[in-house]
Amino acid sequence: MNVMELKCLVAGKPVTGQDTLTVRNPYHGGIVGTVVVASPADVEAAITAACGAGSPPSRFERSVILEKTRAALEERSEEFARTITAEAGLCLRETRYEVGRTVDVLRFAAMEALRDDGQIFSCDISAQGKARKIFTLREPLRCAVAITPFNHPLNQVAHKLAPAIAAGTPMILKPSEKTPLVALKFASLLYEAGLPPAMLSVLLGPTAQVAEPLVRDERVESVSFTGSVAVGKRIASTAGYKRIVLELGGNDPLIVLEDADLELAAHLAAEGSFRNSGQRCTAIKRILVQESVAEEFTALLVRKTAEYRAGDPFDENTRVGTVIDEASAIYLETVVREAETAGARVLIGGRRQGALIEPTVIADVPRDCRMVVHESFGPLAPILKVRDLEDAITLANGTRYGLSSGVVTRRMDWALEAVRRLRCGTVNINEVPGFRVENSPFGGIKDSGLGIKEGVIEAIKCFSTVKTFSLPWS
């Protein structure tokens, strides 16, 4: 793959900045691209352009832009998958899947752009009423900012941009500096599909020069952020008087109960822990298994794990590529060694080579290990034994996070009890915590988010405001 030389974009035009960001492949360290980043003047120009964008295209035009982008992405899906693999080190199985998900986001957003979202309230329904009707309509924001993380570097971006376009809201995107290439390529697809340039700028650069001024600026009406808890809380404290949407980290459990189909449980545990190199906010970060079936489940998971070959992300046989960089892999290796010192046993995996860390199953993990108390963003599968459902729910809830969860059981009463009592945004029965479709409501509570949902339909609401008006109706 040739080295990509890209520039940040202000309303479709290259930035005036001079500084360059270099993007390296996490597997071999070679340069995959460079990006000319934004200057403070570019940040100002992007905000001015967004606020001056004027009336948005019609609903039909917005839908057509999203549909054309979808078609272009489908046509170039392999190129986009390879771009993600080059900059993020994720294997092709994952990056092709991610492009497919992004196609869905665009398709659903194109559909939603056409849907009339107004409501009508008759006013003669009370003794205090009148012969009037109240109507609602949704209006775009003047200017929104989206800040996205490195994992799922295309789909996270699409989950902000496509709903904003469907809502008619101009957007300034600040993608991760670790994965800027696919974000900039995606922006080009949108412009080529007819998006008015003023409706989108893509900026990168030092945090103090780009992200923080965008977050603080009073002309920006909404900041939609996906990333770590630490940065999310910093944004919450600096954004001031504006709408903020925070999709933060997770520490999701998979609860395996004694009546579970253990083959299914082992399959879900492996997929949930190792897909995307374990770098999903909703990856399984803790496996809570009822004592009576722990031994049998663990043996099945170890056997399954052997199928997840770690290696060169561009090799078609690789099932697990690298994590985002060597520092992250070293952190993962450290928490595994800490757990071992505390009495846990590594049953398979555990070795590191650069940014590559093998899918690792760790049994008998003490409940207070850093690996399971904080988010471990990598292909680790820590197993903790629980006495019963009660113990599992207490342990699952005993974390600062509350994003998602999975429960493997055949019993409806246990399934429903888990749905009722797990304090998190999603509960998936006999599925991985990360399961969703791109238009279903998604998002966490506690440190994982403020409970404001994303997903195409909900995100459109975040990028618009409801106007209420009434008319005489006699």
User: Which residues belong to the active site?
Assistant: 247, 281
CB-CB neighbours of 21 under 10 Å: 17
In the bound state with ligand NAP, the residue whose beta carbon lies nearer, of 207 and 397, is 207
Of 269-298, binders to ligand NAP (CB under 6 A) are 281
Residues 6+ apart with CB under 8 A from 251: 285, 286, 372, 373, 374, 375, 399, 400, 401, 403
Q: Contacting ligand NAP (CB under 6 A), which of 48, 228, 397, 430?
A: 228
Rg (CA), the chain: 23
CB-based contact 166:113 (threshold 8 Å): yes
**How far does Cα 239 stand from its chain's mean position?**
21
Is residue 403 involved in binding ligand NAP (CB under 6 A)? yes
- 247 forms part of the interface with ligand NAP (CB under 6 A): yes
With H, G, I as helix, E, B as strand and everything else as coil, classify residue 200: strand
Q: How far is the CB of 244 from ligand NAP (least distance, A)?
A: 11
For residue 246, list its beta bridge partners.
225
Single-letter residue type at 195? L
What distance in Å separates the CA atoms of residue 218 and residue 201, rounded to the nearest whole number?
A: 18
Tell me the window of 93-101, 175-183, 266-274, 351-359 that interacts with ligand NAP (CB under 6 A): 175-183
CB of 128 to ligand NAP, least distance (A): 43
**CB–CB of 89/324 below 8 Å?**
yes
Please report how close the Cβ of residue 206 comes to ligand NAP at its closest, in angstroms.
Answer: 8
235 binds ligand NAP (CB under 6 A): yes
- Residue 295 Cβ vs ligand NAP, minimum distance, rounded to whole Å: 31
The distance of closest approach from Cβ of residue 258 to ligand NAP in the complex, given in angstroms and rounded to an integer, is 30
- When asked if residue 212 is in the footprint of ligand NAP (CB under 6 A), the reply is yes
Question: Is 139 in contact with 465 (CB distance < 8 Å)?
Answer: yes
Taken in order 253, 258, 261, 266, is the CA torsion positive or negative?
Answer: positive
Rounded to a whole number of angstroms, the minimum distance from the CB of residue 351 to ligand NAP is: 23
- Considering the rule CB under 6 A, would residue 169 count as an interface residue with ligand NAP? no
By C-beta, is 175 or 379 nearer to ligand NAP?
175
Q: Kindly state the DSSP code that residue 277 receives in the 8-state scheme.
A: G
Calpha distance 431→180 (Å, rounded): 32
Candidates 177, 312, 333, 340; binder of ligand NAP (CB under 6 A) is 177
Question: Does 155 engage in binding with ligand NAP (CB under 6 A)?
Answer: no
- Beta bridge mates, 289: 256, 385
Residue 225 three-state SS: strand
Size of the site for ligand NAP (CB under 6 A): 31
CA distances from 421 to 175, 402, 406, 415, 450 (A): 35, 12, 13, 10, 18
**C-beta closer to ligand NAP: residue 323 or 363:** 323
239 contacts ligand NAP (rule: CB under 6 A): no
Token output for 59: 């609903």
CB of 444 to ligand NAP, least distance (A): 6
- The answer to whether 375 contacts ligand NAP (rule: CB under 6 A) is yes
CA separation for the pair 256, 388 (Å, rounded): 10
217 binds ligand NAP (CB under 6 A): no
Contact window for ligand NAP (CB under 6 A) among 28-36, 127-135, 209-217, 270-278: 209-217
Q: Kindly state whether residue 227 participates in binding ligand NAP, applying the rule CB under 6 A.
A: yes
Give 356's strand partners: 353
Q: Which stretch binds ligand NAP (CB under 6 A): 122-130, 182-190, 226-234, 309-317?
A: 226-234
Which of residues 43, 161, 203, 248 is near ligand NAP by CB under 6 A?
A: 248
Site for ligand NAP in 376-395 (CB under 6 A): 377
**Residues 331-360, interacting with ligand NAP (CB under 6 A):** none
> How far apart are the C-alpha atoms of 455 and 355, rounded to whole Å?
31
Diameter of the chain measured on Cα atoms: 78
What is the spatial distance between Cα 288 and Cα 395, in angstroms, rounded to a whole number?
8
Position 215 contacts ligand NAP (CB under 6 A): yes
45, 11 Cβ separation under 8 angstroms: yes
DSSP 2: P
Give the full edge-to-edge strand order of the sheet including 284-290.
Answer: 345-348, 360-363, 380-386, 284-290, 252-256, 406-408, 428-429
Candidate list 211, 256, 344, 427; residue touching ligand NAP; CB under 6 A = 211
148 near ligand NAP, rule: CB under 6 A = yes
Per-residue tokens: 241: 């008087």
Query: Is 153 an interacting residue with respect to ligand NAP (CB under 6 A)?
Result: no
Q: What angle do CA 398, 400, 401 make, to 5 degrees?
A: 100
> Binder to ligand NAP among 151, 169, 318, 399 (CB under 6 A)?
151
Specify the residue, 72 or 87, whose C-beta has the smaller distance to ligand NAP. 87
Q: Read off the amino acid at residue 45.
A: A
Q: Is 262 in the site for ligand NAP (CB under 6 A)?
A: no
Q: Identify the residue among 12, 149, 272, 433 touching ligand NAP (CB under 6 A).
A: 149
440 binds ligand NAP per the rule CB under 6 A: no
Does 98 help bind ligand NAP (rule: CB under 6 A)?
Answer: no
Name the site residues for ligand NAP (rule: CB under 6 A).
147-151, 156, 174-178, 207, 211-212, 215, 226-228, 231, 234-235, 247-250, 281, 375, 377, 403, 444, 448
